[in-house]
Amino acid sequence: MTPDQGDLLLPLILAAVAGYLLGSLPFGYLVARSKGVNIFEVGSKSSGATNVRRVLGSGPGNFVLFLDMLKGSIAAGWPLLVAWGAIRAFNVPSVLGYVGLAFALLGHSFSCFTQFRGGKGVATGAGGLAVLMPNVAGAAVGVWLVVYFAVRYVSLASIAAALSLPLAAFLFHRDALALGVAGAIALFVIIRHRANIVRLLKGTEKRIEKKKDSEPEA
């Protein structure tokens, strides 16, 4: 027995619209604008936490990181909490969570509030996966940390973490839907980093340098 398609259409539309609008909230742009900076005109011209941190420092950057993760978590998590009666019996809320996260990634990267500009989706994706597949998210965070501290390239760490998602989903879930979602997110993140990949190959990508002990505090 399957739920009536008409019963599922409205929840799917609501999850998609709410996910896109949540993802579109341009926290990086707003935080930078509060400091008198148009984040789309400086650094990598991305509104993501990495560019905000590079331009404005760790405080604003970490704040944007938290907010971008939060909107991904909410977009993926609210359908798990607000199910539609009998639809819960068909395990649809998990599917709605994936839909919410997918559209949150689209909103974050192509925000309707900033002329369809945005970030690269790493923090938003991590926040959503922490709700939907916490073990997969944890594995990806571990990969990110290892690669980042080894080479100090945020972009390379993000790409490596994205590549680990399908493998982690296969190892932990062995579920076609989870594997498909993880693979789609990985592909999306890598495509959004295509300019970084070119710079990495050319040797022109900027790395985060370690702060020297003798360096005075800012």
- Tell me if 116 sits within 8 A of 109, measured CB to CB: no
Q: What pLDDT does 82 receive?
A: 74
User: What confidence category does residue 86 fall into, taking pLDDT thresholds of 50, 70 and 90?
Assistant: very low
**Greater model confidence, 92 or 139:** 139
**110 secondary structure, DSSP code:** S
Q: What pLDDT does 216 receive?
A: 37
Q: What is the pLDDT of residues 17-70, one digit of tens each?
A: 999 999 999 999 999 999 999 999 998 899 999 999 999 999 999 999 999 999
Side-chain half-sphere CA neighbours of 94 within 13 A? 9
Please list, in sequence order, all residues whose beta carbon lies within 8 angstroms of the beta carbon of residue 111, skipping any fewer than 6 positions away.
23, 24, 25, 26, 29, 47, 117, 118
| Whole-angstrom distance, CA of residue 69 vs CA of residue 124 | 5
Mean pLDDT value across the chain: 88
* Residue 194 pLDDT exceeds 90: yes
* Residue 7 pLDDT exceeds 70: no
Q: Using CB atoms within 10 Å of the CB of residue 117, give its burial: 0 to 12 exposed, 13 to 18 middle, 19+ buried.
A: middle
* Arithmetic mean of pLDDT, 96-119: 95
Q: What is the pLDDT of residues 180-189, one digit of tens each?
A: 999 999 999 9
User: What confidence category does residue 11 fall into, taking pLDDT thresholds of 50, 70 and 90?
Assistant: confident
* Arithmetic mean of pLDDT, 192-212: 86
DSSP SS3 for 1: coil
| Whole-angstrom distance, CA of residue 55 vs CA of residue 39 | 8
Percentage of the chain with pLDDT > 70?
88
* Residue 217 pLDDT exceeds 60: no
How far CA 29 is from CA of 4, 36, 155, 198, in Å, comes to 42, 10, 20, 25
How far CA 123 is from CA of 4, 10, 68, 76, 185, in Å, comes to 35, 28, 6, 13, 12
Domain boundaries, the chain: 7-124, 133-208
Q: What is the pLDDT of residues 119-166, one digit of tens each?
A: 999 999 999 999 999 999 999 999 999 999 999 999 999 999 999 999
User: What confidence category does residue 6 fall into, taking pLDDT thresholds of 50, 70 and 90?
Assistant: low
